[in-house]
Structure 1
């Protein structure tokens, strides 16, 4: 999942590089057709995956994605998606929390694994996350 503008730009650049590799493969006269096809398919699969991530990031930024949480395991992704959908950068979230941007980057990169409950609640509130209440039995 693309989490910030830097990753977005890097991913777009990687797609361009992979496309260039595919183009150069087509110029290799000594490659057997089956090997060429397998290599092209492999690179194309990577490109397709990255394009899906780019599309998700762009859709989040313009509010086209409904953010849902099915289980508690979805919480890290929900927090990241909510931040992006608010148009908030990691730096802006860090400022709201009174911490350094690198800490937010670490939280998001690790899926919020290293965060304490108190800080998690601060992130939740800073992002104004709301989900329907569920009955616990």
Structure 2
């Protein structure tokens, strides 16, 4: 995800380089004839990276160019994606990290830390404060509780603890 103008410019530069690389690869008839599968794989990988970059660039441009007289909708696929949505909301509001920090009454470095770590360093209360400052409201929220996933996590924890205990026993 592109979070600022510097990353936006860098992403545009990378996209241009991928476009050029694909163009050069398309003109390399010797490689295409010598190793068609390798050539195609190389082209597909570069094309995939280019499409991903172009999608990120388009999303960033949508955010920076949105009409602030109308609310914007930002889809949140899961709770894990909430940090991205908060960053997108700040970008769409054309608000700098410094302006958000001022609204929150905290240092700009703290907001930068939030975004650099995708809000992993923020408490739930801090996330709520940021949401409020950005005017973020949920229209609908549906949670899907996957009991099979819960059971899988439990099993993983049990295995991890057993492994940890075995290692502790061996070193004693």
Q: Higher RCO, 1 or 2 (CA under 8 Å, sep at least 6)? A: 1
Matches within 5 A, 1:44-59: 44-59=47-62
The structure carrying a bigger helix percent of its residues is 2
Matches within 5 A, 1:7-26: 7-26=7-26
Q: Where does residue 37 of structure 1 map in the other structure?
A: 40
Q: Where does residue 78 of structure 1 map in the other structure?
A: 85
Q: Where does residue 118 of structure 2 map in the other structure?
A: 111
Matches within 5 A, 1:62-77: 62-63=65-66, 66-69=73-76, 71-77=78-84
Q: TM-score, normalised to structure 1's length?
A: 0.79
Q: Which runs of 5+ in 2 are unaligned?
A: 144-172
Q: Aligned with 2:66: secondary structure?
A: coil
Q: How many residue pairs end up in the alignment?
A: 135
Q: Which runs of 5+ in 1 are unaligned?
A: none
Q: TM-score, normalised to structure 2's length?
A: 0.65
The CA RMSD over aligned residues, in Å, is 2.7
Distance across 2 between alignment mates of 1:134 and 1:34: 46
Distance across 2 between alignment mates of 1:70 and 1:42: 26
